Structures are given as structure tokens and as C-alpha cells.
Amino acid sequence: MKYEKEINRRKTFAIISHPDAGKTTLTEKFLLFGGAIQTAGAVKSNKIKKHATSDFMEIERQRGISVATSVMTFEYNDTLINLLDTPGHKDFAEDTYRTLTAVDSVVLVVDSVNGVEDQTRRLMEVCRMRDTPVIVFINKMDRDGKNRFDLLEEIENELHISLHPMTWPINSGKDFKGVYNLYDKTLQLFTANTKAEDDEDKVVIEDLSTSILDEKIGDKDAAQLREDVELVEGVYGDLKVQDYLDGKIAPVFFGSAINNFGVKEMLDTFIQIAPVPRSRETTKRTVDVGEEKFSGFIFKIHANLDPKHRDRIAFLRVCTGRFERNKYYHHVRLDKDIRFSNPYSFLARSKDVIEDAYPGDVVGLFDTGNFKIGDTLTEGEDYYFTGIPSFSPEIFKELVNKDPMKTKQLEKGISQLTDEGVAQLFTQFGGNKKIIGCVGELQFEVIQYRLLQEYGAACEFRPLPFYKACWLTSNDTKKLEEFLRFKQANSAEDKDGNPVYLAQSEWFLNTEIQNNPEITFHFTSEIHK
Ligand code: G4P
């Protein structure tokens, strides 16, 4: 393999969590270990504060911060780590789902007090669809959390994944004494605000029956730990790394991100076991990661903050070969060759123009409207990377043009915004009603604001009584056409012309599914199949 060395030293991943579980804090600790930042507090939380949903400045601030911290690249123990950020706010969940298509593994943060939360469930669904390897970090052990056995059971049951504890906690909250590392048989005693290279409080405990354990944590907790470890080892046995790589088993670490406790253990294991870039499926064939020719795909598009400049940044994940500045690449969908004179790499501190990039890397490309999510670049071959899903929106509204003189601008604007993946656009059959579907209310505000600011088009939204969009396929074309005609008020086509059923409620949806066995109702659509 020509680029074997480069490929094997890269790990591209994302940290995912329900808002407030500690993603930003953990990200910061990783960057401290990687030397990418020097002080705590340097990474700004990119979540929009819960109360500021109507504050446009806040939306703008969010967009600014999230572009700056979209990809953080740092080195740790000779491993080059690309950490892809995901938006914290649930209204931008779709952005997160797409980012997950560009990573090779994830770290899932779970709050030990709150356990599995809504967003955790959704994110894990996406990971399971792709068999993404997952490491779980159970955070905030310094707070009185749930019983650890109950918590593990809750995670396994709710997220449908088998867990494998790598460390085991001694109590939680004010009685939290530390963790026992089941693999290197060491006891790490808890101290708040552990420094990056601090191993002072580490005690090697080869044999748990040693009295050192009682000395260190007291008779009662020592007895409990012996009992717990016997149980845990009996139930879980040894970790099979291949099961982790296949997405079947998730190693679990306990810690406290804010105190930098338990983070290093996880990072050290991460660089040992997390996957390097792997081969990927395309519409034509499996593309082997070691292929010499360059290929990559766009998983995210970010608009420019400055309304005077319409250009955007398209995020390209390199899949094979070497991406080079100023070289012509084939844009498969547009069937044209383009080159990039200012490709960006994202270092934690600044954006830098780069000369080249390798599989696993993310490159920022200036885009004047050439790109859509899911676009593929190659050295000439025609294929698309598959597995980039579009999920059903949860809120649907009719787009109403408030200024007929600006119809063209409105259409252009909405088309570009939906290319960016801000929202999904459906056109109702029979009429020409434009329906915008989003995951959260906040996106409607963003759209309205941006249409006005960037395209000079005024619009308003009228609520529609739909709760889900299902993409329809059938071997019986006539049946499908009939259904769409008969259910005209609930039928639409998506931006690519695929037929969609807009369901008013679960009851309606289930009834239609039952009544129409010849038609398949899909809850996600793949951009390229
Ligand atoms: P997020 O990105 O997942 O939304 O979470 P973030 O890191 O912003 O953390 C959410 C809150 O939880 C923050 O407090 C953070 O300080 C706190 N936190 C993170 N890790 C731990 C931990 O191990 N133990 C405890 N007790 N708290 C933790 P905040 O008050 O919301 O924000 P801030 O004012 O501290 O920034």
C-alpha cells in the first residue's frame, strides 16, 4: 500500500452525547493531552444556550464557533487524531448524523446521573446502522449517580449494544474514590483536577486480595470492589477487540471529564484499539482504503458567516489516496473536473491552507455552490459513497412567499439551503406547495433569517399537521402511482424526485403500512443507494 504509513497512523472519530453530558469538557481534555491547547477553558461550548432560541446573534455565534471547531486535529503518542465536532443542540441533530458518516469510530459520553437520554438513543441508532465501533465514557462519577450495574444494564437495554467494562468505579458522588483498571490491574485514586501527565495516584494491584487495597480505600470499599470485580470478570471475560471493531461490543470507562479523571485511560486504549481508516462501499464497488487514486465525499456544508460573501465551506472526508492542492478532481454528480487552490485543514487553533491530505483527514473546500451533501470526488471513476442517510424531519411547515417580486431569490435560496442540509424540501403532488421539514423549530428561524439576509427573500411558515416523512418504494409501479394519487394531500416528492408519504400520526402511518403491503415505507432515505 503506497500510503500505508499515513493511513495507519490516523484515527478519525467523533464524541457524541446528549447535551450537557460533558462532550465539550471531554473534547477539551483530549486536546490538552494532544498539546493542541494549553489551558482549560479554551474550547468554547458550541451549544446554544437553552433560553436563547430566538436570538439570531446567538445563531450566528453558534455558526461561527462550530466552523472553527468543526474538526480538531492533534497528535498523541505518534497517532494523528482527527476529532470531528458535532453540534450540541438537538435541532441540529441531522448535522450530527451526517458527521457520523465521516468518522471511523465514536466515543459516547453518558451522564452517570441522567443515564441514557433521548439524543443518546438517536445517535446510537445511527452508529448501529453503520456498525460504527463505540467506546462509552460514563461521566460525572464525582456526582451521586445511578448504581453502576443498573446503569450498565440500562445502557445495554436501551441502546441495544453489549458493553465491556474496562475500568470499575469505587462508589460515586462525594464517596467516589477512583477506578480500578481491569486490564492493567491498577488502582487510580480520585483527585480533582488531575494534570495531563499525572500518574502519582496510580497503584499497581496485581492481586486484589492484597491488604494495600484496604489501606488505600478502606475495608468496606475494598471488600465491595473485590466482590464487584469477581462478578464483572465472570460476566464479561476478556475484551475481543474484533467484536469492538465490528460494532458489537462497546468498551466502557468510568470517569469525570471536568476533573480530567479516567480520561487518559480511555485515550490510551482508544489509540490502541480504535480503527484506522477502512475500506468503504460505493454505488459501484467496495473501494479499498489502500487504493492509490484519490477519492472522498462531502458530508457537511457550512455557509459563510459574512452575508456579503456567498461562498461556503464544504467538508470533504478523504477516503483513499492523496488529496493534493491545485490538482483537478472529478466531481461525479456534475461530471466536471475542479481543482482547489485553497483547501483548508482544521487545526485546533486556526485554519491553515494545506498541500495534501490522506485517508481519514477532513479538508475544507471553498464552494461557490458546486456541492451538495453526499457529493463524491474521484480521479475520474464514476461512483458515489453509500451510507449517507437522510432522516425523516419531525416538524413540517409550508413555505409561503411574502414578496412575489423575489420568487426567484426565494427559490434559489431554499434550494441552496437544502443542499447544505439545513432542512429538507418536499413538493406536494398535484399542487406546488413547498413543504420544509426540519428536526427542530430553531432551523425554521435560521432559514427565515438567512433567506432574508443572504437572498433578500421574505417568507413565512404555516404549520402543517404531519409528524413523519416516509420514502416509498414498490416493485408495483402502478400500485405506487395509484397510492400517491389517492393520498394526494399526504404525498410529495423530495428534492431528488423520490416519492414520499407524509403521515399525520403513527396511527395513520400504521394503517397505510397495513393496507398497502405492496409498498415499502422507509424511515430514512439514502442519498446514494
Ligand atoms: P456538552 O458539551 O455535552 O453539552 O457538555 P459540557 O461539556 O458543556 O458539560 C455540561 C456541564 O457539565 C458543564 O457545566 C460542565 O462543567 C459539567 N461537567 C462536565 N464534566 C463533568 C464532571 O465530570 N463532573 C461534574 N460534576 N460536572 C461535569 P455547566 O455548569 O453547564 O457549564 P460551565 O458553566 O461549567 O461551563
Q: What is the pLDDT of residue 430?
A: 75
C-alpha cell at 285: 464497488
Q: What CATH number is attached to the domain comprising 416?
A: 3.30.70.3280
Return the pLDDT at 40: 59
Residue 134 lies in a domain: yes
3-state SS class at 419: helix
Domain for residue 188, yes or no? Answer: no
Instruction: Using the Cα atoms of residue 465, residue 470, residue 476 and residue 478 in order, give the sign of their dihedral.
Output: positive
What's the pLDDT at 65?
52
Query: CA-based angle 333:338:341, to the nearest 5?
Result: 140
Q: Is 407 annotated as a binding residue?
A: no
Question: How many C-beta atoms surround the C-beta of residue 273 within 10 A?
Answer: 17
- Give 492-511 as a DSSP string: EE-TTS-EEEEESSHHHHHH
The count of other CB atoms within 10 Å of the CB of residue 247 is 17
- Which of 58, 52, 120, 111 is closest to 86 using CA atoms? 120
* Residue 194 maps to a domain: no
Q: 422 and 373: one domain?
A: no
User: Would the CB of 194 count as within 6 Å of ligand 1?
Assistant: no
Which of residues 256, 273, 290 is at a domain's end? 273
Do residue 26 and residue 144 come from a single domain? yes
CA 236/CA 136 separation, integer angstroms: 15
List, as one string, the DSSP characters of 60-87: HHHHHHHHHTSEEEEEETTEEEEEE---
Cβ of residue 21 lying under 6 Å from some atom of ligand 1: yes
Q: Tell me: do 410 and 370 sit in the same domain.
A: no
What is the residue with the minimal CA distance to atom 26 of ligand 1?
140
The finding on whether 29 has its CB within 6 A of some atom of ligand 1 is no
Is 192 a member of any domain? no
Cα 525 to Cα 527: distance, rounded to the nearest angstrom: 6
Note whether 12 and 105 are same-domain residues.
yes
Q: What pLDDT shows up at residue 304?
A: 62
Residue 178: its H or E element: strand 178-181
Residue 179 forms part of a structural domain: no
Residue with cell 450495574: 149
Tell me, what amino acid is at 240? K
* 89 marked ligand binding residue: yes
CA atoms within 13 Å, Cβ hemisphere of 189: 15
User: How many CB atoms are closer than 10 A to CB 127?
Assistant: 23
Question: Same structural domain for residues 506 and 405?
Answer: yes
Residue nearest to atom 30 of ligand 1 (CA): 20
Do 468 and 348 sit in the same domain of this protein? no
Residue 305 near residue 70, CB atoms below 8 Å: no
Please report whether residue 504 resides in a domain: yes
429 plus 486 within the same structural domain: yes
36 Cα: distance to centroid of ligand 1 (angstroms): 21
Domain count for the chain, please give it: 3
In a domain, 81, yes or no: yes
C-alpha cell at 153: 444494564
Shared domain for 120 and 252, answered yes or no, is yes
Residue 325 lies in a domain: yes
Rounded distance, CA 323 to CA 311, Å? 21
Residue 427 is labelled as binding a ligand: no
Q: Are 117 and 18 in contact (CB under 8 A)?
A: yes
> 519-522 and 468-474: which strand pairing?
antiparallel
Are residues 328 and 405 both part of a single domain? no
Question: What are the DSSP E strand ranges found in 341-423?
Answer: 344-346, 351-353, 356-357, 362-367, 376-378, 389-391, 395-401
Q: Give the integer Cα–Cα distance in Å for 231 and 153.
A: 14
Distance of CA 484 to the CA centre of its chain: 34
Dihedral over alpha carbons 204, 208, 212, 218 (to 10 degrees):
120
- Residue 390 in contact with residue 316, Cβ under 8 Å? no
Take atom 16 of ligand 1 and give the residue whose Cα is closest: 258
Of 331, 350, 378, which residue sits at a domain end?
Answer: 378
Query: How much is the pLDDT for 485?
Result: 92
* 21 Cα to the center of ligand 1, angstroms: 7
What CATH number is associated with residue 339?
3.40.50.300
Q: 168: Cβ–Cβ under 8 A, 6 or more apart, which residues? A: 148, 179, 180, 182, 225, 228, 229, 232, 254
Q: What is the pLDDT of residue 165?
A: 96
Per-residue pLDDT of the chain (529 residues; tens, 9 = 90+): 889 999 999 999 999 998 889 998 999 899 888 876 666 555 555 444 444 344 445 555 555 555 555 788 889 999 999 999 887 667 777 788 889 999 999 999 999 999 999 888 888 988 998 899 999 999 999 999 889 999 999 999 999 999 999 999 999 998 999 999 998 888 988 877 766 555 566 788 888 888 988 998 999 999 999 999 999 988 888 899 999 999 999 999 999 999 999 999 999 999 999 999 999 999 999 999 999 999 999 998 887 655 556 668 899 999 999 999 999 999 999 999 999 998 887 654 456 788 899 999 999 898 888 899 999 999 999 999 998 888 889 999 999 999 999 999 999 999 988 988 889 999 998 778 999 999 888 889 889 988 998 889 999 999 999 999 999 999 999 999 999 999 999 999 998 889 999 999 999 999 999 999 999 999 888 766 6
459 has which bridge partners?
A: 401
Do 46 and 127 have their domain in common?
yes
Backbone angles phi, psi at 445, to 5 degrees: -65, -40
Three-state secondary-structure class, residue 420: helix
- What value does the CA radius of gyration of the chain take, rounded to a whole number of Å? 25
Same domain, 290 and 269: no
Burial 23-47 (b: 16+ CB within 10 A, else e): bbbbbbbbbbbbebbeeeeebebbb
Q: Whole-structure pTM over 0.85, yes or no?
A: yes
Using CA atoms, how far residue 41 sits from 27, 28, 29, 187, 438, in Å, is 11, 8, 10, 29, 32
Judged on CB neighbours under 10 Å (0-12, 13-18, 19+), 147 is: exposed
How many Å apart are CA 136 and CA 390, to the nearest integer? 25
141 known ligand binder: yes
- Selection from 404, 429, 432 nearest residue 485 by Cα: 429
Ligand 1 and 47: CB distance under 6 A: yes
CB 426 within 8 A of CB 502: yes
Q: Of the candidates 327, 343, 378, which is a domain's last residue?
A: 378
In DSSP terms, which residues pair with 11 in a beta bridge? 81
Is 266 annotated as belonging to a binding site? no
**Distance of CA 426 from the midpoint of ligand 1 (Å):** 38
- Residue 72 has a pLDDT of 85
Q: Are 20 and 90 in contact (CB under 8 A)?
A: no
Instruction: Give 198 Cα–ligand 1 centroid separation in angstroms.
Output: 22
317 and 437 both lie in a single domain: no
Is the CB–ligand 1 distance for residue 139 below 6 Å? yes
Q: Which domain holds residue 322?
A: 280-378
